[in-house]
């Protein structure tokens, strides 16, 4: 099954003039979000530690007619995050939306997770999102508008084996989202989390190979099993996450804050 980053035929001016900062923009879900906002005429700042992939994604946004820049950034480094935000403000003078999508997942069982691996996952998935929320929040509060969307996971809501450090980071991110939502609500700024189910990205391909091999399956067999386990009977495409993220940044969701939406084909429900 091919990864589909873009929903064809989207023509909208919904985010014209708005500035959207996307972390993990070189990846599947972050990239699909950057492209979706580009389709809807936002100005996009792509942030990622993968400088080459990030530059490609910003170029793809520009091909859709959007103004877009690539800013290399390690979200675990406060200095990197601050420098990236300073570059965004120097160019456009404002931020309207943050999508915090940078993340990692190893799929290792507890017995083999090292302390270093635990700390690395927490540093990227949770501390990285914290640093980005902290850097963007005052800008949105000052303007009295805007949205933050943190990409958590269904693993933050329910139980999976071989996910100790990942689940902990993603549950923590839901806690962070709710607290920031409370603080920013008086300023008319909404803060929500999206909890994706299995979405066809590089991350899922890598982890399915590791977990599948442990269970005596190929990557494709393991993914097919996950699709059968899902009430909607299939895996998600990255553009399907991007559509929900765009909704959460739009005028249609101004009364929706502090939520962690399961966009998982019904997996957590089941």
Ligand X SMILES: NC(=O)c1ccc[n+]([C@@H]2O[C@H](COP(=O)([O-])OP(=O)(O)OC[C@H]3O[C@@H](n4cnc5c(N)ncnc54)[C@H](O)[C@@H]3O)[C@@H](O)[C@H]2O)c1
Q: Which residues are catalytic?
A: 166
Q: Does 84 bind ligand X (CB under 6 A)?
A: no
Residue with smaller CB distance to ligand X, 103 or 212 = 103
Q: Does 212 bind ligand X (CB under 6 A)?
A: no
How distant is the alpha carbon of residue 92 from its chain centre? 22
- The strand pair at 147-151 and 260-263 is best described as unpaired
Q: Which of 151, 184, 211, 244 binds ligand X (CB under 6 A)?
A: 151
How distant is the alpha carbon of residue 210 from its chain centre? 22
Instruction: Report the length, in residues, of the chain.
Output: 270
Q: Are 219 and 212 in contact (CB under 8 A)?
A: yes
Q: Does 48 bind ligand X (CB under 6 A)?
A: yes
> How distant, in Å, are the alpha carbons of 5, 7, 190, 241 from that of 11?
16, 10, 25, 18
Q: Which stretch binds ligand X (CB under 6 A): 11-19, 48-56, 210-218, 244-252?
A: 48-56
In angstroms, what is the minimal distance from the CB of 188 to ligand X?
26
The DSSP string of 190-222 is EEEEEEE-SB-SHHHHHHHHHHHHHTT--HHHH
Q: Does 45 bind ligand X (CB under 6 A)?
A: no
In angstroms, what is the minimal distance from the CB of 255 to ligand X?
25
Residue with smaller CB distance to ligand X, 41 or 104 = 104
- Chain position carrying tokens 């999102």: 129
Q: Which residues contact 63 (CB under 8 A, 6 or more apart)?
A: none
User: How many residues bind ligand X, per CB under 6 A?
Assistant: 32
Residues 61-80: x where in contact with ligand X by CB under 6 A, - otherwise, as a string: ------------xxxx----
Residues that bind ligand X (CB under 6 A): 23-24, 26-30, 48-50, 53, 73-76, 101-105, 124-125, 128, 151, 153, 196, 198-199, 201-204
């Amino acid at each position: 099954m091919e990864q589909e980053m873009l929903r064809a035929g989207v023509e909208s001016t919904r985010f014209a003039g708005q500035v959207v900062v996307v972390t993990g923009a070189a990846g599947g879900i972050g990239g699909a979000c950057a492209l979706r906002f580009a389709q809807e005429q936002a100005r996009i700042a792509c942030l990622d530690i993968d400088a080459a992939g990030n530059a490609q994604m910003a170029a793809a946004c520009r091909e859709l007619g959007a103004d877009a820049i690539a800013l290399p950034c390690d979200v675990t480094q406060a200095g990197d995050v601050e420098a990236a935000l300073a570059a965004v403000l120097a160019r456009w003078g404002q931020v309207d939306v943050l999508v915090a999508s940078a993340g990692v997942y190893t799929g290792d069982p507890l017995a083999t997770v090292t302390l270093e691996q635990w700390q690395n996952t927490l540093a990227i998935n949770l501390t990285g999102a914290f640093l980005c929320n902290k850097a963007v929040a005052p800008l949105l509060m000052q303007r009295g508008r805007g949205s933050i969307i943190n990409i958590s996971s269904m693993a933050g809501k329910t139980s999976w084996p071989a996910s100790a450090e990942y689940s902990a980071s993603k549950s923590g991110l839901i806690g962070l989202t709710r607290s920031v939502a409370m603080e920013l609500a008086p300023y008319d700024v909404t803060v929500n989390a999206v909890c994706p189910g299995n979405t066809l990205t590089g991350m899922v391909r890598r982890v399915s190979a590791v977990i599948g091999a442990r269970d005596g399956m190929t990557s494709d067999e393991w993914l097919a099993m996950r699709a059968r386990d899902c009430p909607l009977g299939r895996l998600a495409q990255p553009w399907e996450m991007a559509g929900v993220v765009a909704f959460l940044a739009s005028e249609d969701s101004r009364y929706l804050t502090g939520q962690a939406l399961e966009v998982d084909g019904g997996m957590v429900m089941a």
